[in-house]
Structure 1
């Protein structure tokens, strides 16, 4: 058998989704079928739970091109819990077509630790992201139509902040001019596109807890400002009901399965470097209602997705992680130790030792939240015993629980030791506390994240960001959590500063209020909300065979 993720997924035995629903305790009348192997869950048809399950959050060290396998470990540990006869559900984000067709790949795990049907999930799935794209662009159309039809709200076309969206990396759409061609074609103005997973509607869908909450959050979204510099919201336009109507099916969580038949709920897909990086509250809360243990993940390293899970998702959801897993690899640690990607196959324990500072910082970050993390060392074939020994010796000396995992090759069996360590942490009380209060000044919240989470020296605001901050305070929007838009490759805002840089200053170039989502997006460095494709996009290797099966997906 070929050892590609796609071939393993294609040869796996996949069960009818009704059997998976039965395993998860989902009654038939709460299941809305999307073919044989996918379904939506009608949460309102579920019986109330006597108690809610505990949450295992999987995060990682700062990612590198060498790969860490965070989603693979997330799926693998869920399957390991299943093998240990625990009641468990894995809850993941939906993949975006931008990374799938670009360079990062999908988000369904890998090897024998995958969610199925892999092809469907990585492509159009149940259409959720398309629905979000439609709602986002419907709002854009309503705004431009309002301008064209007389502009009763006196919206200043120069101060419209709402952008159109597309779920694809397309740098040519970052800045566009619309409305050209004369009066019948609308009002000319500058516009732009975000990738759909950076849309505020994605964040709203992921943080809403009911249809009514969804509508209220949509209504609160700011789309621009009047000529008098007063904010204009979706409520002012009166279209929150129409947007909610477009999202009503997408709002329902999706049920699928792992290769080993563990129930998996996949729903919502915000990026963690330009958005809050967590799957939906609906998905996590539904999983908690159905299982004793919920294994979920947050995007990229602990400085991004995990920090936002703690400060944004936990606050909105009224729960916090009961255990945290930090995924690390020998290969990635060697890169953080200064080794080029092409030389990672060569044994180099000294490089591992140098790169350990990155893992140490992420452990320190999770501990600051009052949770003792468990390290999952995701093994690759090229890892030597000496290199692995460096990491395990460091863990023992640092009082960190660590387990060698091999879930890519062995599935749940390769994660049993990790699952047992995590179960020990689940049985212990945590002392969870966020690192800042929402009532802290914005400057204080930023300083806390930069110093405590990134390990930097200070934060500075550009003139534009300072002006925006003054406006936020004027409108009373400053008592919101922070959603940092920052490179994933470094703890700093400079992608090439690997390892554990010190003494750096993070520059905030722009602050964008997202009132519907309930946070402030702070843009750092040269981070883009519409990525571009690489020179050799993954799409060049993709095709479909005469049997209708995918070729070269991964």
Structure 2
């Protein structure tokens, strides 16, 4: 059996200018990076009579069994293309952290991929590097300001801005800088965030223009003065330099699916520690050039989809016409408590016992005003009896369900799913579930009780102090970005299935005034992940000809 990278390497890609031309993208808007990938200049795309329908692809709570959300999305796009639809992909860029760690990339798999797969999963067009450079330039300007007399009166103990890099490096979570004497800076405690969780990543993904990007960068809160007043990036005169570093990175990237559909791949915030959606600009561009736009929100619907509707769609003024919830029979059984090594065995009782997790995700999506379609990503171990029971469940609940075999068959394996999605489109009905004007506490209560089915929210002393400071600064009406484990509806990753009656524990509230939301850190989630015992990086190699192997 060929690996994902071998399948991608064997594929004959179309020239990227041909993909662009077929999509209707003007020649002068294309900025090629070689022959197989390009950026699209947002200032030169012109007007379009199209406003493609947005279909959100999300999933159940992720399990070690794997669900295949991106793979399903890409195969569904190719299936719609086979049916004569102008379908366009809008996806996030992979982070080097998971690529070198444990989760893998974000380019799909098997015969349902976006290509060139190796480039996309590694450096791509350098967006992550540009974001890290901008992030760390701001950090250097802060420390230089302290060194040069600190005219703003910044309290080194209250600097909230951290450096970042796109690597899972737990040793950098907490560091002390400025050591070595007076010439080497002001000693203070700080830390590193992974680039995917940086506020600048969120800003790039939520900005609607270069001008909007610059304004958002200027209003980043970097810390507080000795008297407790917030200090913003524009007070350090940093926004111009940061914008210069990001002026190319803000342009979305264009690649293609194995089926030849255009794919805008741009931005990569994680969904468990950030807002988990590709850029507003990429999605908006996709709508200009496609009749149907397939986009994704990270992890389960309780994380990515909630933030898509309550943050991205709100800021980007997007209406969502449809939604797909990706699941597998193996993941359903895992939510019933079945051990990983037992998941391939026929067990209809386990499917029945684990269905509550899928059912919860379906019910939650309905609250946003869409009609979700369940996509069952099939594996060879799935028995006829298990599949039959799942179809009967869907019929009983009135839920549209379609099986998918995109990993093995590409677009041909999602034709049934494509029909189900087209049959369940709605217009002008999607909506967020809370109003930020009601305040952070009300917003968190709504998310916790409505989406997580918690009894309420509990704030640590540190979170209560931060909440008071947020209210005092007038930031209480920004949306909330919950940082929570992806493995459970609760903040406890061991609570599988569909737990109810738990408490959401908020340990810290962090205002991201440039991005325009407040991050609520819950449970034990960290903004700098660590590597596993045997990282994926150990399996990646390059031969004498430069061909990469071991990349999934």
Deviates more, 1:319-328 or 1:524-533: 319-328
Counterpart-to-counterpart distance in 2, 1:225 and 1:546: 53
Counterpart-to-counterpart distance in 1, 2:540 and 2:12: 23
Counterpart-to-counterpart distance in 2, 1:356 and 1:3: 32
Partner of 1:535: 533
Counterpart-to-counterpart distance in 1, 2:270 and 2:450: 22
SS at match of 1:439: helix
Aligned length: 552
From 475, 478, 499, the equivalent of 1:477 is: 475
Residue 520 (str. 1) matches residue 518 (str. 2): yes
Partner of 2:33: 34
Deviates more, 1:442-451 or 1:205-214: 442-451
1:62-461 to 2 correspondences below 5 Å: 62-426=61-425, 428-461=426-459
1:404-428 CA-to-partner distances (Å, cap 9, x unmatched) read 01011110011111111111222x3
Partner of 1:3: 2
Using the size of structure 2 for normalisation, the TM-score is 0.99
Say whether the 8 Å CA contact 2:336–2:497 is kept in structure 1: yes
Counterpart-to-counterpart distance in 2, 1:499 and 1:507: 19
Superposed CA RMSD in Å reads 0.8
SS at match of 2:299: coil
Deviates more, 1:243-252 or 1:442-451: 442-451
Counterpart-to-counterpart distance in 1, 2:497 and 2:212: 41
Counterpart-to-counterpart distance in 2, 1:441 and 1:268: 28
**Alpha-carbon deviation of 1:3?**
2.5
**Alpha-carbon deviation of 1:131?**
0.4
**Alpha-carbon deviation of 1:372?**
1.1
Counterpart-to-counterpart distance in 1, 2:320 and 2:111: 26
1:393-414 CA-to-partner distances (Å, cap 9, x unmatched) read 1111000000001011110011
Name stretches of at least 5 consecutive residues in structure 2 with no aligned partner. Answer: none
Deviates more, 1:263-272 or 1:14-23: 14-23
Deviates more, 1:542-551 or 1:271-280: 542-551
Counterpart-to-counterpart distance in 1, 2:388 and 2:463: 46
Partner of 2:548: 550
Say whether the 8 Å CA contact 1:371–1:430 is kept in structure 2: no
SS at match of 2:520: strand
Deviates more, 1:143-152 or 1:346-355: 346-355
Say whether the 8 Å CA contact 2:319–2:429 is kept in structure 1: no
SS at match of 2:43: helix
SS at match of 1:480: coil
Name stretches of at least 5 consecutive residues in structure 1 with no aligned partner. Answer: none
**Alpha-carbon deviation of 1:381?**
1.1
Partner of 2:23: 24
Counterpart-to-counterpart distance in 2, 1:248 and 1:517: 17
Counterpart-to-counterpart distance in 2, 1:425 and 1:502: 29
**Alpha-carbon deviation of 1:430?**
5.0
Using the size of structure 1 for normalisation, the TM-score is 0.99
SS at match of 2:436: coil
SS at match of 1:503: coil
**Alpha-carbon deviation of 1:518?**
0.5
Partner of 2:501: 503
